[in-house]
């Protein structure tokens, strides 16, 4: 089954002229303003890199991340083809990867794995799963610090670099979600929090580029082990790692709140060091207009993306979106120019920077010993991501849920998360087919539907709209249909021979999963809430034939509708559940 919906395929176009008012100050753009800077930059990249982007490396993976999000929003086949053509240049039919050497233990080489996982979700082709497993194997064996953080590379022993968090963590988190490996998600949370612990400067709230556990490197402080400077792009990598990994960390994960705390602290620090005049960020973030320092595009794109996404997802206050918009205006005004053929150019990017082997991490190193370049993938991919976030000017509603005390139909409620919408659109689905679209007033936060019948599975999506944009949907899959007698809500253990039941149902403090297997099989069980967020995973353990019972603690579950899905080697079972 395809994982990503075409949530916005029903729009006449996502890329209408909804953000042009933001960009009128871009004096260097002589041609007519593009309707979407995300699409315009993607087209410019394809002009200079036809058919595919590049070989297997983290820069290619960073660019493809932008195309993945652009394709999910627009559904345009050319973007999907560009992703697939690029990946297929490296991933062979047997799942091996050209140019990849596991034994190098180079975490940079993991990043393009996110595009591989994307293609596996979309195609189901075994070669993508095999390639993903190969990358997962590297992370199982990858050398670590004493407390479990990945070394940046084998040739950089005992060192954490901020760069590596983006290279490895989003892939590992998505792999864990996709293949029911909760320990992988545990590892990601640990990586993010260990990096915070070891690289944070408590005075500024910023993060040092690297940390050496052994305090042996020339750049490492003899007491803290930290490198000397706050390099913008290093912190940009970490910021993007945080917001992208959170997509796959379950809401009930014991470490999720700690990660969200880091996101909030980091966002405040990033906002504090946003340049007042330009709206963007400096190569050495805390040094402002010091001699030699320069405004840098890749870090600025990364910070805008991370702030805007975190605000959209509700991780931080939506007020941060104004800082992101100001940053994007600054990117357009300071870094983007029009090419002769109508393409876009993105300049003022630090080509590369690192630590060790003569690179001392000093201020002078970052500003005088690094090369400034244009149209570099490390800035282009984040630019597309940042543009998509800014161009989606209306936020979706949050907190969508069903009122399970209302038994005469379906009653939905949500919270306004945008403040500038003129209407809400309610999409009603019957058995996964669109039935109708209802338009409600912009101040509406409750919708009641009594036009339902027994025996039909209903789902709903709610989107916010204004005169220039439509948000993505908040979705409520498979609402409880109280007119459907097959729901079988019961406070006691069912007497029948059902292969898979949850009882009691409704649930108060705990419930028991009961399933019957005709033969010895492995089972995977996933419990999600009505918004599709993973609440509980049971990995592929083997059970014997016959009846088995597993008790699940429901403490900490909010009141609402949940869905249990049991996968075996040969079958899939499904049950609705209500928590009171």
Give the per-residue pLDDT at 263. Answer: 98
User: H helices within 355-407, ranges in order?
Assistant: 363-368, 377-391
pLDDT at 478: 81
Give 50 or 512, the one with higher predicted confidence.
Answer: 50
Write the CATH number of the domain with boundaries 398-476.
Answer: 2.60.40.10
For residue 47, what are the contacts with CB-CB under 8 A and spacing of at least 6? 341, 343
pLDDT above 70: percentage of residues in the chain: 88
Architecture of the domain delimited by 488-579: Sandwich (2.60)
d(CA 185, CA 245): 9
Q: Which band of pLDDT confidence, cut at 50, 70 and 90, is reported for residue 489?
A: very low
**Are the CB atoms for 411 and 478 separated by under 8 Å?**
no
Q: What is the mean pLDDT of residues 258-268?
A: 98
Average pLDDT over residues 80-95: 97
493 pLDDT above the threshold of 80: no
> What pLDDT, on the 0 to 100 scale, is given for residue 540?
64
- Region for 325 from its dihedrals, namely left if φ exceeds 0, alpha if ψ lies in -120 to 50, beta otherwise: alpha
Q: How far apart are CA 266 and CA 320, in angstroms?
A: 12
Of 43, 73, 3, 10, residue with least CA distance to 392: 73
Q: CATH 2.60.40.2550 in the chain: give the residue spans.
A: 488-579
Start-to-end Cα distance in the chain = 31
Question: pLDDT tens, 89-138?
Answer: 999 999 999 999 999 999 999 999 999 999 999 999 999 999 999 999 99
Lowest mean per-residue pLDDT among 24-33, 115-124, 287-296 = 24-33
Q: Is 494 helix (H, G, I), strand (E, B) or coil?
A: coil
Buried b (16+ CB within 10 A) or exposed e, 228-249: bbbbbbbbbbbbbbbbbbbebb
Facing residues of 543 across strands?
521
Query: How confident is the prediction for the chain on average, in pLDDT?
Result: 87
User: Per the residue annotation, which of 51, 104, 163, 529 is the catalytic one?
Assistant: 163
pLDDT range class, residue 300, cuts 50, 70, 90: very high
pLDDT at 477: 78
The overall pTM is greater than 0.85: no
- The mean pLDDT of 243-252, rounded to a whole number, is 94
Closest CA to 138 of 191, 102, 174, 187: 102
Which of 503, 487, 484 minimizes the C-alpha distance to 495? 503
Q: Which residues contact 357 (CB under 8 A, 6 or more apart)?
A: none
Res. 418 pLDDT band, cuts 50 70 90: low
Could you give the residue range(s) of every CATH 1.50.10.10 domain in the chain?
32-391
DSSP letter at 316 equals: S
Q: What is the DSSP string of 47-71?
A: HHS-S---SSSHHHHHHHHHHHHHH
Q: Which of 134, 97, 115 is nearest to 61 (CA)?
A: 115
Question: For residues 489 and 520, is the Cβ–Cβ distance under 8 A?
Answer: no
Helix axes 182-199, 232-245, angle to 10 degrees: 150
CB-CB contact of 323 with 279 (8 Å): no
Higher local confidence (pLDDT), 187 or 522: 187
pLDDT recorded at residue 407: 86
pLDDT band at 13 (very low <50, low <70, confident <90, very high): very low
Determine the average pLDDT of the residues in 262-283: 98
Q: Residues 86, 64: contact at Cβ < 8 Å?
A: yes
Is 286 noted as a catalytic residue in this protein? no
> Rounded to an integer, what distance in angstroms lies between the CA atom of residue 20 and that of residue 33?
7
How far, in Å, CA of 202 to CA of 246, rounded? 23
Cα–Cα separations (whole angstroms), residue 430 to 7, 91, 427: 17, 39, 10
Residue 536 has pLDDT above 80, yes or no: no
Q: What is the pLDDT of residue 209?
A: 98
Please write the tens of the pLDDT for every residue from 350-387.
999 999 999 999 999 999 999 999 999 999 999 999 99
pLDDT score at 498: 58
Q: Going by C-beta distance under 8 Å and a sequence separation of 6 or more, which residues neighbour residue 531?
A: 400, 401, 474, 475, 476
Percent of the chain with pLDDT over 90: 61
CB 235 within 8 A of CB 269: no
Residues 137-170 pLDDT 10s = 999 999 999 999 999 999 999 999 999 999 999 9
Among residues 329, 309, 351, the alpha carbon closest in space to that of 59 is found at 351
Across 327-341, 423-437, 525-539, the highest mean pLDDT is recorded for 327-341
Phi, psi of 474 (to 5 degrees): -95, 125
Q: What is the Cα–Cα distance from 479 to 404, expressed in whole angstroms? A: 9
Dihedral sign for Cα 62, 66, 69, 72, please: negative
Every domain of the chain with CATH number 2.60.40.10 lies at 398-476
- What pLDDT does 539 receive? 66
CATH topology of domain 32-391: Glycosyltransferase (1.50.10)
């Amino acid at each position: 089954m395809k994982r990503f919906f075409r949530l916005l395929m029903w729009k006449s176009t996502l890329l209408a002229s909804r953000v042009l008012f933001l960009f009128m100050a871009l004096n260097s753009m002589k041609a007519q303003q593009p309707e979407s800077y995300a699409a315009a930059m993607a087209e410019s990249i394809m002009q200079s890199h036809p058919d595919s982007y590049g070989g297997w490396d983290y820069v290619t993976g960073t660019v493809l991340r932008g195309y993945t999000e652009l394709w999910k929003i627009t559904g345009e086949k050319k973007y999907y083809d560009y992703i697939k053509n690029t990946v297929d240049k490296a991933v062979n039919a047997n799942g091996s990867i050209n140019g990849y050497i596991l034994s190098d233990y180079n975490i940079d080489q993991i990043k393009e794995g996110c595009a591989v996982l994307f293609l596996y979700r979309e195609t189901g082709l075994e070669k993508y799963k095999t390639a993903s497993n190969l990358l997962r194997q590297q992370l199982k064996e990858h050398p670590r610090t004493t407390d479990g953080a990945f070394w940046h590379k084998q040739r950089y022993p005992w060192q954490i670099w901020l760069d590596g968090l983006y290279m490895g963590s989003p892939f590992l988190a998505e792999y864990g979600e996709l293949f029911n490996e909760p320990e992988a998600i545990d590892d990601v949370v640990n990586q993010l929090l260990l990096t915070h612990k070891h690289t944070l400067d408590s005075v500024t709230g910023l993060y040092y580029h690297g940390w050496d556990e052994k305090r042996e490197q020339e750049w490492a402080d003899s007491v803290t082990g930290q490198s000397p400077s706050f390099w913008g792009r290093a912190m940009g990598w970490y910021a993007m790692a945080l917001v992208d990994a959170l997509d796959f960390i379950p809401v009930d994960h014991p470490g999720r709140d700690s990660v969200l705390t880091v996101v909030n602290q980091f966002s405040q620090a990033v906002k504090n060091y946003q340049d007042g005049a330009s709206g963007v960020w400096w190569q050495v973030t805390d040094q402002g207009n010091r001699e030699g320092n320069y405004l840098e595009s890749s870090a600025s794109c990364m910070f805008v993306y991370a702030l805007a996404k975190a605000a959209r997802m509700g991780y931080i206050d939506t007020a941060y979106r104004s800082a992101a918009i100001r940053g994007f205006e600054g990117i357009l005004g300071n870094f983007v120019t029009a090419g002769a053929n109508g393409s876009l150019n993105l300049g003022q990017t630090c080509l590369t920077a690192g630590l060790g082997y003569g690179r001392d991490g000093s201020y002078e190193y970052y500003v005088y010993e690094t090369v400034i370049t244009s149209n570099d993938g490390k800035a282009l991919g984040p630019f597309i991501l940042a543009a998509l976030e800014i161009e989606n000017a209306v936020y979706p509603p949050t907190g969508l849920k069903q009122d399970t005390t209302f038994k005469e139909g379906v009653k939905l409620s949500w919270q306004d998360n945008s403040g500038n919408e003129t209407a809400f659109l309610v999409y009603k689905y019957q058995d996964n087919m669109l039935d109708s679209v209802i338009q409600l007033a912009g101040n509406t936060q409750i919708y009641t539907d009594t036009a339902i019948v027994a025996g039909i599975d209903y789902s709903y999506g709610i989107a916010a709209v204004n005169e220039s944009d439509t948000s993505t949907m908040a979705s409520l899959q498979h609402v409880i249909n109280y007119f459907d007698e097959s729901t079988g809500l019961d406070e006691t253990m069912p007497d029948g021979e059902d292969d898979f039941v949850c009882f009691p149902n409704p649930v108060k403090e705990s419930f028991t999963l009961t399933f019957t297997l005709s033969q010895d099989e492995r089972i995977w069980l996933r419990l999600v809430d009505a918004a599709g967020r993973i609440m509980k995973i049971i990995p592929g353990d083997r059970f014997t034939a016959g009846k088995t019972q597993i008790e699940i603690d429901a403490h900490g579950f909010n009141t609402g509708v949940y869905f249990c899905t049991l996968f075996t080697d040969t079958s899939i079972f499904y049950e609705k559940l209500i928590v009171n």
